[in-house]
Structure 1
Amino acid sequence: MITFVLSLAALVLGYFLYGRFVERVFGPDDRPTPAIAKADGVDFMVLPSWKIFMIQFLNIAGTGPIFGAIMGAKFGPAAYLWIVFGCIFAGATHDYLSGMLSIRNGGANLPEIIGKYLGNATKQIMLIFSVFLLMMVGAVFVYSPALLLQKLCLSSVPGIEILSNSTFWIIVIFVYYVIATMMPIDKIIGKIYPLFAFSLLFMAVALMAMLFVKMPDIPEVWEGVGEASLTTKSIFPCLFITIACGAISGFHATQSPLMARCVKSEKMGRPIFYGAMITEGLVALIWATVAMYFFYNEPTPGYQEMAGGEEIISKAPAIVSMVCDNWLGLFGSILAILGVVAAPITSGDTALRSARLIIADFIHLEQKTVRKRLYVCIPMFATVIALLIWQMANPEGFDVIWSWFGWSNQTLSVFTLWAITVYLYQQKKNYWISLVPAVFMTVVSVVYLLTEQIF
């Protein structure tokens, strides 16, 4: 537990110390933001800073800092090092600077930013890459919360057959995605996200409290980073792909422009973009520690069997349900699982919203009218439905799509970091803050592609 406590403190200090340093490097000023200069009442509008933070946090969280942390826990205490150093020096820096670049470029989406600094050819590749990644996020983040809701209903409201059917929940969640993707950002996302954020934060705080109550015996970093691993996979590069959300995730840079279009002042950037990533790192740290407790101590019958094998991502919803039931009781478990459910749902809807805006910007189609939003959304939703059908029809479909998502997610972060580096170099600013993580993540993505079977 000493490593866990030190890691918590390091993340908090990282926000106040390194986060302030990164902010000074960028240099926010008082120029009008896109929320003011381009207000349209749909995607560009000023929102309160606390609400933007909650939306940004939920947008980027998904199941990544939960499921990814559970899988990453099998690497032992090495997961702590990656979450802490990755989050502070790579992920939060990536999120803050990509968000600020979007603000400086009129709320531009990620392919536009990459194209401006890495060239038009790269922009075209990234446009296709980003949209495909976002649609994969939509498919993955329909399936995983549906399984969690199914398991929650089986334990809390037995006897109602339709609620215990995952297909029913997939349909319900997807219908919500359609509505949230189409509606102005303040109508649904701006109103219900604070409630979702409460559930997610309750889950994190409750599990952290239980960790301090139980004070479990967990391997510490100084006992051997590699020796405590419970997986045959190598730490490099697999750990750095497995734990993405919570350390660094390219998907986040597709979400930052959504909030860049709602920020009143550039000086709000650090608490919103850097702060949301640090908060996600805290969630990942808590879940990694909880998972290590269950991996190494086997306090619940059946947990080791459920978590066994190399590919446990499809079992992650059941693991989450078991952990919450065992530690928090029925009421606490319901709130905690709703928090875990809220994370992927709120990432899935904004992923599809981002995809809509990227496509619309590319084909120069205004999005003020519902009819023109439908022009973009119908083929996009059809693609996500096709991915869902394939995922449900294949026993390993979820694992395969998650593997694609993991690699493409980190590859996207590579292009974003290089674009940021070019910007900082052109502005004669300290470009080392993005160059070092750019080089590291480039090596990780290339080595993973060459050594792991993902296609």
Structure 2
Amino acid sequence: MSAILLMLLGLGGLAGGYLFYSRYIADRIYRFDPDFITPAHEFEDGVDYVPTNKFVLWGHHFTSVAGAAPIVGPAIAVIWGWLPAFLWVILGTVFFAGVHDSGAVWASVRNRAVSVGSLTGDVVGKRARSIFMIVIFLVLLMVNAVFGVVIAGLLIKNPASVVPIWGAIAVALVIGQLIYRFKFNLALVSLFGVIALYLLIYIGPSVPVSLPESVAGLSDGASWILILFAYAAVASLLPVWVLLQPRDYINGLQLFVGLILLYAAVLVGNPEVVAPMINHQVPVDTPPLIPLLFVTIACGAISGFHGLVASGTTSKQLNREPDARFVGYFGAVGEGALALAAILAATAGFATLADWQTVYQGFGQGGVQAFVDGGATILSNGIGISSAVAGTMLTVMAALFAGTTMDTGLRLQRYIFQEFGEIYGIRWLGRPLPATLMAVTCCILLAFGAGGADGSGGLLIWPLFGTTNQLLAGLTLLVVTVMLVRLKRPVWVTLVPLVFLLLMTVLALLIQLNEFFQKKDWFLLGLDVVALVAAILVALECASALRKPAAISVTDDRSAR
């Protein structure tokens, strides 16, 4: 199988989805109104509510949702063969993720830019909101704790990536000032940022940086985790225009340059996809393709975390409501393109089928390292980039997106604690600093309390990330569907994906429940039960809400600015 054909089919499908299906969704289903006064204007405060150029906001949204997961999931799922992973990424992006992401932005914007968890209370009911908030908290805890561990591992394994990864923060700070304070031309600033990032990537292998193996009794990995959380805490408190927006924007451009180089290398080198189309000889520990494919590839097809970003930070920065199509739907398309690149790297970046089988000897093998190694081989053979620079570039790409997701995730977790403070009347928790400290404390307690001095505790609950994340996506689609029903709009575009997603997620949770029981892993078993019960209860609450003729807090039109 030619990698070129797979690439063209995939990119063609994604482009067609944005050009045609997203327009239908925007015009006929969500009916974006250019005269609607968005919360970014209504509540503008210069910190969280900031009307933002749609290209800059797309960069923030895309890079916040495109962490390491759209690389890890597809690079693991190809163990079933490249065809199932390919179909789920393309069809899931077009018919699931784009609808979900743009719908979450729209639902939040129409309701004062509140998070999807808080919105559940307005649309469905207070009981559903309480359950939803538990699921949201678990997902954010998993994302923040695990990505801290993942980034720390990348920094240790690839010392050449340390300078470009941390140097990207300095570049973002400069870009924020140039765009917002000095009003420089966006195109020139963008060009400067991309050149600066790639210069850092080129310099990185010449100045590798490593921490001491032990500092105050902590391993180098644990030290990196603490540094990362200290940085994320500060970043989550800064005004979004200072660091979050410019870093996400320039990272988005850097990713697209990286994807263009990778896809160009495929066109020039024409590597062969050595992995089987359908793998009939999967390792003995591999779970069934259905339903596990649909939770193994979450980000890259559809992801509940996207709804948290869409309703948590993106909706507070949307300048015009029609921008939700570009920011939300095209943001999902961008992540689908990244997932497609991960599939190509993990199936065509090996010389022979035997080499591929050596890596994929068990379920969970491959992941980020398969993407980095396979992608570096394609870049080196295709367009002559040295293996060292190519490996550094792909490592930086993965780490930067994991970092931006962690930044946004911690800010979202701060919002959740602030909403808890408002809901339950805890005034001190409603302030940014205490809420941020609570968020960081929870992540560190999980990382070190459950994992010991190496800080790897976040990985303990990672097996449930896929199912809990997809459950959250289904619940977000339920909320959007309830809103559409009460506005007397067509609902099939959200109803079909949510029914499919909830069915696959519940089946996956039941399979994992049995696995955890067989392994006597009572901790994960308990969390699995919590997620399963939450899925059933919120689905029942939403089914009840669909039958109620009561009014809803969403408005169908609003005065022009």
Same-fold call, TM cutoff 0.5:
yes
Distance 1:404 1:159 in 2: 35
Could you say which residue in structure 1 is the equivalent of 2:211? 162
Distance 1:42 1:370 in 2: 18
Aligned pairs, number: 449
Shift of 1:4: 3.3
1:174 partner SS: helix
Structure 1 residues 12-411: aligned runs within 5 Å: 12-24=15-27, 25-29=29-33, 30-76=35-81, 77-153=83-159, 156=205, 161-162=210-211, 165-218=220-273, 225=278, 227=280, 232-257=286-311, 258-294=313-349, 297=352, 304-312=357-365, 316-326=367-377, 327=380, 328-329=385-386, 330-364=388-422, 372-389=431-448, 390-391=450-451, 400-411=460-471
Change (3 A) 1:160 1:243: closer
1:7 alignment partner AA: G
Distance 1:224 1:159 in 2: 39
Structure 1 length as normaliser, TM-score? 0.91
Shift of 1:112: 1.6
- Computing the radius of gyration from Cα coordinates, the structure with the larger value is 2
Distance 2:350 2:283 in 1: 8
Task: Give the stretch that moved more between structures: 445-454 or 35-44.
Answer: 445-454
1:71 alignment partner AA: I
Change (3 A) 1:192 1:172: same
Q: Deviations over 1:328-379 (max 9, x none)?
A: 422233222211111110001101111111221232299xx99921221222
Distance 2:429 2:128 in 1: 31
Q: Deviations over 1:216-244 (max 9, x none)?
A: 33279xx9646486773221111100001
Change (3 A) 1:290 1:317: closer
Shift of 1:49: 1.2
Change (3 A) 1:434 1:161: closer
Change (3 A) 1:276 1:163: farther
Contact 2:149–2:455, Cα closer than 8 Å, also in 1: no
Distance 1:112 1:204 in 2: 36
Task: Give the stretch that moved more between structures: 283-292 or 387-396.
Answer: 387-396
Distance 2:451 2:42 in 1: 43
1:106 partner SS: coil
Consecutive unaligned residues in structure 1, runs of 5 or more: none
Distance 1:163 1:14 in 2: 49
Distance 1:395 1:304 in 2: 31
Consecutive unaligned residues in structure 2, runs of 5 or more: 162-204, 214-219, 517-523, 525-561
Change (3 A) 1:211 1:383: same
Shift of 1:402: 2.1
Shift of 1:120: 1.2
Q: Deviations over 1:257-287 (max 9, x none)?
A: 2111111110111000000001100100111
RMSD: 2.9
Change (3 A) 1:99 1:162: same
Contact 2:140–2:413, Cα closer than 8 Å, also in 1: yes
Contact 1:61–1:347, Cα closer than 8 Å, also in 2: yes
Distance 1:397 1:317 in 2: 19
Change (3 A) 1:154 1:57: closer
Change (3 A) 1:306 1:80: closer
Distance 1:184 1:270 in 2: 25
Could you say which residue in structure 1 is the equivalent of 2:511? 451
Change (3 A) 1:209 1:194: same
